[in-house]
Amino acid sequence: MVLKDLPRPRQHQPLTYALEDQVGHLLRRAHQRHAAIFLEGIGPAALTPMQWAALVTLVREGRASQNRLGRLTAMDPATIQGVVRRLRARGLITRSADPADRRASLLAPTGAGIALVEATLPAAIAISEATLAPLDPAERRIFLQLLQRMAFA
């Protein structure tokens, strides 16, 4: 109440908010840049970042329910649904009934899916490298550590 009536300390600063300096904007730009590097670097595999994430995770897990795969890759159920549909349409993963839970379906990579992951792994590693290229090794460690905390806090 009282504070509102006091004279403003900063007299009439038009806008102390520079969009280009906001974390959110910088995170978005960095993510954009990574997506562009990914698109360029993934080559003939022609996978999107999310398709790659889902596929490589499923190969590592062996099999998983759709929602679980979504949790492992940070996609909500509505989003993982479309990603799985497209991977299935390309014959990279299969779906079968879960004998232990009639709500769930079991996803598993096909031979083609596993082969594609193996063939694409070097490109994926190169993409992460290229994304971090602006930083030297010491900076990369620091950045990744801080980014990790920003992501999971």
Binding site for a copy of itself (CB under 8 A): 15-17, 19, 21-35, 38, 49, 53, 56-57, 59-60, 72-74, 121, 124-125, 127-128, 131-135, 139, 142-144, 146-153
Give the pairing of strands 93-97 and 64-65: unpaired
The residue with tokens 């897990």 is: 61
Which entry of DNA, a copy of itself, none binds 148, CB below 5 to 8 A by partner kind? a copy of itself
Residues of span 31-50 touching DNA by CB under 7 A: 32, 35-36, 39, 48-50
Residue selected from 22, 26, 28, 134 as contacting DNA according to rule CB under 7 A: 28
Binding mask 79-108 for DNA (x = CB under 7 A): x-xxxx-x-----------x-xxxxxx---
Does position 120 interact with DNA (CB under 7 A)? The reply is no
| Least gap, CB of 127 to a copy of itself (angstroms) | 7
Task: Pick between residue 53 and residue 116 the one whose CB is nearest to a copy of itself.
Answer: 53
CB count within 10 Å of CB 47 equals 25
Which entry of DNA, a copy of itself, none binds 143, CB below 5 to 8 A by partner kind? a copy of itself
DSSP per position, 100-127: T-SS-EEEEE-HHHHHHHHHHHHHHHHH
Q: Which one, of 106, 9, 141, 117, lies nearest residue 56 by Cα?
A: 117
Task: Pick between residue 35 and residue 97 the one whose CB is nearest to a copy of itself.
Answer: 35
Task: Pick between residue 13 and residue 35 the one whose CB is nearest to DNA.
Answer: 35
Rounded Cα gap, residues 77 and 9, in angstroms: 49
Dihedral sign, Cα of residue 131, residue 137, residue 141, residue 147: negative
Strands (E), the chain: 64-65, 93-97, 105-109
